[in-house]
A and B are shown apart, each in its own frame.
Chain A
Amino acid sequence: MAPILLFFLKSVALIIIALAGFAYTTLLERRFIARLQARIGPNRAGPQGFLQPVADGLKLIVKESITPAQADKVIYFLAPMIAVIPALIVFAVIPFGSDPIFSLMGDLNIGVLYILAILSIGVYGSALAGWSSNNKYASLGGLRASAQMISYELALGLSLVAVVLMASSASLNDIVKYQQPGNILGWLIFRQPIAAIIFAICAMAELARAPFDLVEAEQELTAGFLTEYGGMKFALFYMSEYVKMIAMSALFATFFLGGWSGPFVNEVPVLSLVYFAIKVVIGLLIIVWVRATLPRFRYDKLMSFGWKALLPIGLANVMLTALLIVLGVY
């Protein structure tokens, strides 16, 4: 009985952390991007705008939930859930700390495969939302979403193949442990820089964040697949975007920044949680920073960049890594 109870408690804790993380990631983004743009950002609700996410949430909950008359009602209703659930369950395999208790699934030996599989499901949310809204802008956004995800999924997978080759394990815990010995140079970002860059770019594209935010490009498609969504349904899409942002940042930290590793983790295991959180927040800030800096990709350039640049480089990187492992360099 005890393991099931523990599993249940850990799941609840994880979901609460993810949702609170979502709420405060929105605030972090808004405050940080305001700094970059010579603004102040939301600072009215509570001290330093600390209650802003609560106010936003309340506003969205009390909004009238409108379904367009021409929409496919069932799918229109289901799409936000299809988007948000995969975003939440990605966290199941991420090791948040050095102790197995800090991870929901403990040590899943196919962690990388699980992540790739779950991340691909999320796109159905956007694509179906665009299709079911029965709106031209929304369907263009939905089409863009599916094309974009397919193009970048492959390169994302290839960058992880190199990581798995290095660690000779698909378990995330093993990958972290592989990066742990001794100094900071053990981190895979230094030993697999190409894979790290490809992963970072593809993660942004998977998140559909600027400069890859074609699916909801406000200036082109008004709001893309979100055009017809409002109230809590919109909030769920919003949540899936931000939860995925945290998840991607956590994955990047796990794969390339040594995960929870850091000084004195063996003596004080709780420190590992702190190190991991710091790495995730740095990742989030970089995502926001990129958004404030770069213009948006164009649809055809995005495609050719994915297929003609990232995919071949990713493949070459896998070959090179394999060769170096066979030669015994790594």
Chain B
Amino acid sequence: MTIPNLRIEESPKNVVSASDTQLDITFDQLKKLVSPRALTGDNMLLNMGPQHPSTHGVLRLLLELDGETVINCIPDIGFLHTGIEKTAESKTYTKAIVVTDRIDYLAPMICNTAYVGAVEKLMGVDVPLRAQYIRVILNELTRMNSHLVWLGTHALDIGAMSMFLYTFREREMLLDIFEMVSGVRMMSSYFRVGGLWRDIPAGFIDAVRNVIKVFPDKLLDYEKLLKENPLWRERTVGIGVINKEDAIAWGMTGPSLRGSGVNYDVRKAMPYSSYDHFEFSVPVGSNGDVYDRYRCRVEEFYQSLKIIQQALDKLPSGPVITDNRKVAPPPKHEIAYSMESLIHHFKLWTEGFRAPEGEVYFSVESGKGEFGVFISSDGGVRPRRVHFRAPSLCNLQSLPQLSKGCLIADIVGIVGSVDIVLGEVDR
């Protein structure tokens, strides 16, 4: 009888070092992020991004893969950091409006609203009703713009290529309207502290009414292509699920939170800019999966159209900027005969206005979630500190939990369904 030789197996060696991940962490920290199998090379560590077609800009994900299954997902952000908060602190209150355009470049008007809203709250300035209504109209158009880009890219990520081109075709209508009011398609900077830069031009109302007329048909087309499509449902139902409690715990807001069944919308919870004058409902999902988040956003198109319709019907006449000369510049013709106006004009254009000392937080509902602005003022012409609560960043935090155990193909669907804009994440 032969006795088989005993074989002594060596314990597997770690072949992955912390520097391999390019994450600027120590090996002990890496051990907490990935499973032991990844360190020995049994699971693959795959670097996805920042130059990847479907990470919506420059998001980088370090994926630990067992075959095609995602074991761990480690997001790495900061590739688009542009120092927007710091820039805003070195500019006067009016000049900082232009940097807020660049935060969420798909919804600039909403960022503008949040920023000027915060300054108005700090200064205690009232905004004329007409300006408020126009802000509401433009905010909702911006929300639609943001959702159109989301829908197109989300569908593109899942492989429905044509949707992308259809939504971008419709987006042109909205960009034309933005160009009409502000002269710029994307970086509009149309709002000012106390109101608007100028009144809406002739043709604006017709253009918006045309949007209301055309959009329902287009939305129906989108739904025909996706909503009941078995392949689309297969790719989205039950994927990236997060329950109510976890979604709240991660600080998710916006459609990503409502997809999990939490009815929280800043427009309803803390109405701003006369949102309480309009009737609309807040679509809420139940399962918290990619499909429910998709449904919530698509439903929001219809609600936005409803709000715009009401705002157009009720649009009052009157001034579009406050007559508080300490904040808003006097009209040009007044300067010619009023010494006081000339002084105001001079002070506003050379120095800017001073805000009272204090701290203020003001938030609005952007296409992505609760977009908040915190301003701390020391009484000078520039804010001491500006901070933006970016919904993309807070929603993105949940990605490691959402993507646990899914497949590579689902990662892109989940990132798409959370709807991030990297400009806002990194600021």
Contacts and interface: CB of A to CB of B under 8 A. Distances in A.
A164 interface: no
Given A36-B162, A213-B159, A295-B160, 15 more contacts: A38-B169, A136-B44, A217-B409, A219-B156, A219-B158, A220-B412, A221-B408, A222-B53, A292-B161, A294-B159, A295-B155, A296-B159, A298-B234, A298-B410, A299-B409
B61 to A, nearest CB: 12
A313 interface: no
A288 to B, nearest CB: 11
B53 A295 contact: no
Interface residues of A, number: 28
B225 interface: yes
A287 interface: no
Contacts of B226: 295
B228 to A, nearest CB: 13
A293 B165 CA distance: 12
A219 B235 contact: no
Given A295-B160, A295-B235, A297-B231, A39 B165 contact: yes
B403 interface: no
Contacts of A297: 231, 234
A138 B410 CA distance: 18
A127 interface: no
A158 B273 CA distance: 66
Interface string A145-167: 00000000000000000000000
B46 interface: yes
Interface of B: 44, 46, 52-54, 68, 155-162, 165-166, 169, 225-226, 229, 231-232, 234-235, 407-412
Interface in A25-66: 36-39
A222 B46 CA distance: 12
Interface of A: 36-39, 136-137, 140, 210-211, 213-214, 217-222, 291-301
Contacts of A294: 159-160, 229, 231
Contacts of B408: 140, 220-221, 299
Contacts of A214: 409
Contact of A211 (B53, B231, B407, B412): B231
Contacts of B68: 140, 299-300
Contacts of A38: 165-166, 169
Query: Interface on chain B toward A: helix, strand, loop, or mixed SS?
Result: helix
Contacts of B156: 219
B54 A293 contact: no
Nearest to A297: B231
Nearest to A213: B159
A61 to B, nearest CB: 26
B407 A219 contact: no
26 contacts: A37-B162, A37-B165, A137-B46, A140-B68, A219-B156, A219-B157, A219-B412, A220-B54, A220-B409, A220-B411, A222-B52, A222-B53, A293-B160, A293-B225, A294-B229, A295-B155, A295-B159, A295-B160, A295-B231, A295-B232, A295-B235, A296-B159, A298-B234, A298-B409, A298-B410, A299-B407
Task: Give the top 7 A-B pairs by smallest Cβ distance, nearest first.
Answer: A296-B159, A219-B54, A295-B160, A37-B165, A295-B159, A295-B158, A219-B157
B325 to A, nearest CB: 50
Contacts of A213: 159
Nearest to A39: B165
Contacts of A222: 52-53
Contact of A296 (B165, B166, B225, B409): B409
Contacts of B169: 38
Given A219-B54, A220-B408, A296 B158 contact: yes
Contacts of B165: 37-39
Given A221-B408, A294-B229, A211 B234 contact: no
Contacts of A219: 53-54, 156-159, 412
Contacts of B157: 219
B214 to A, nearest CB: 14
Nearest to A305: B234
Given A38-B165, A38-B166, A220-B54, A298 B160 contact: no
Given A38-B169, A295-B235, A136 B161 contact: no
Contact of A298 (B53, B54, B161, B235): B235
A39 B408 CA distance: 31
Residue from A36, A39, A140, A298 having most chain B Cβ neighbours under 10 A: A298
Contacts of B234: 297-298, 301
A324 to B, nearest CB: 30
Contact of B159 (A140, A217, A299, A300): A217
Contacts of B160: 293-296
Contacts of B410: 298
Residue from A140, A210, A220 having most chain B Cβ neighbours under 10 A: A220
A95 to B, nearest CB: 35
A210 B160 CA distance: 9
Nearest to A36: B162
B162 to A, nearest CB: 5
Nearest to B233: A295
A38 B163 CA distance: 10
A297 B159 CA distance: 8
A200 to B, nearest CB: 16
B347 to A, nearest CB: 52
Contacts of A298: 234-235, 407, 409-410
A64 B122 CA distance: 61
B76 to A, nearest CB: 17
A210 B165 CA distance: 17
Contacts of A221: 408
